[in-house]
Amino acid sequence: LEEKLLFSTSGYLKEIDLNSSVVKVLINAGSTVYSLTYDYYEKYLYVPRSQGDIIRFPYPSNQKIQFETVVSSRNPLGLAFDSVNHHLYWTDDVEGRIMRCNADGSNKTTVLVETEPAALTIDIKNRWMYYGQDLSNGKIYRLTFDGKDRKVIYNQSSHVLGIQVDVSNSRLYWMEYGTGDLKSAWHNGSDVKTIVSTHSIGRNWEIDTNDDFIFYSRYDTIFKINKSLGQGPTVVHTDTALIYAVFVFKQEGTGNNENEGVLYYTR
């Protein structure tokens, strides 16, 4: 199975082949990109730009990449795609909202008004959304796709800028930018564990998972660590600039990226 890891540096979106370790630049986004998501059905990669919009482009593609603007937002931060309903979800920490629109950007809707919502992930199988806050004393919440039944999952998080739900194992993983700790819990918030402490405060951004590993960035380096506790992290790639977004792309679309893969051929 061909597996690529997509990531963003200062303005650039890059791709690394996890089998060959070859790195190539996809596009210059011209703006900071904090997260990535993918529609495995239509085969579009969605890219939030901090300058005020979300763009998309066909991926993978042998053609020169031409991106299109999907929707405007003041500072889009976390991103997730619901492939069942063809909805794009995102957080905007400046506007203080979790938003939704159709895959083409139409029907823009406010799902929830919230204080500095940040990282976002969705569980398509169980129809839950999880998000963290960009606050030093923030919380992690779970709610339905329509913004109802909100529940606190974890009540002492510090700037959650990376979050991922693993449907097959019923685990939630998140990275705390404020402490440098990568943590996990059951999807209901119980059994909180620290997987690794990076000891790097204010340097840790997004995370993603595949079947066996959690991928995370620390400053200019991407690491992977086994989901099973007791093993140390290994370096996947070191870049020349700060790394923000990290996204695992499986060529066949069968991974559990945002839990969508196993059941729905998506992310």
Q: How far apart are CA 120 and CA 140, in angstroms?
A: 10
**Which of 166, 162, 190, 186 shows the shortest CA–CA distance to 176?**
162
Q: How far apart are CA 201 and CA 5, in angstroms?
A: 24
What DSSP string runs through 50-89? TTTEEEEEESS-SSPP--EEEEE-SSEEEEEEETTTTEEE
Q: What's the pLDDT score for residue 255?
A: 45
- Domains in the chain, number: 1
Q: What's the pLDDT score for residue 250?
A: 84
Q: How far apart are CA 51 and CA 126, in angstroms?
A: 33
Residue 24 token pair: 């190539």
Q: What's the pLDDT score for residue 257?
A: 52
Give me the tens of pLDDT residue by residue for the chain, a chain 267 residues long.
Answer: 679 999 999 889 999 999 999 999 999 999 999 999 999 999 999 999 999 999 999 999 988 899 999 999 999 999 999 999 999 999 999 999 999 999 999 999 999 999 999 999 999 999 999 999 999 999 999 999 999 999 999 999 999 999 999 998 999 999 999 899 999 999 999 999 999 999 888 889 999 999 999 999 999 999 999 998 778 999 999 999 999 999 999 876 444 454 544 333 333
Domain that holds residue 84: 3-264
- Is there a contact between 21 and 1 (Cβ–Cβ < 8 Å)? no
N residues, the chain: 267
Q: How far apart are CA 33 and CA 106, in angstroms?
A: 22
CATH number at residue 18: 2.120.10.30
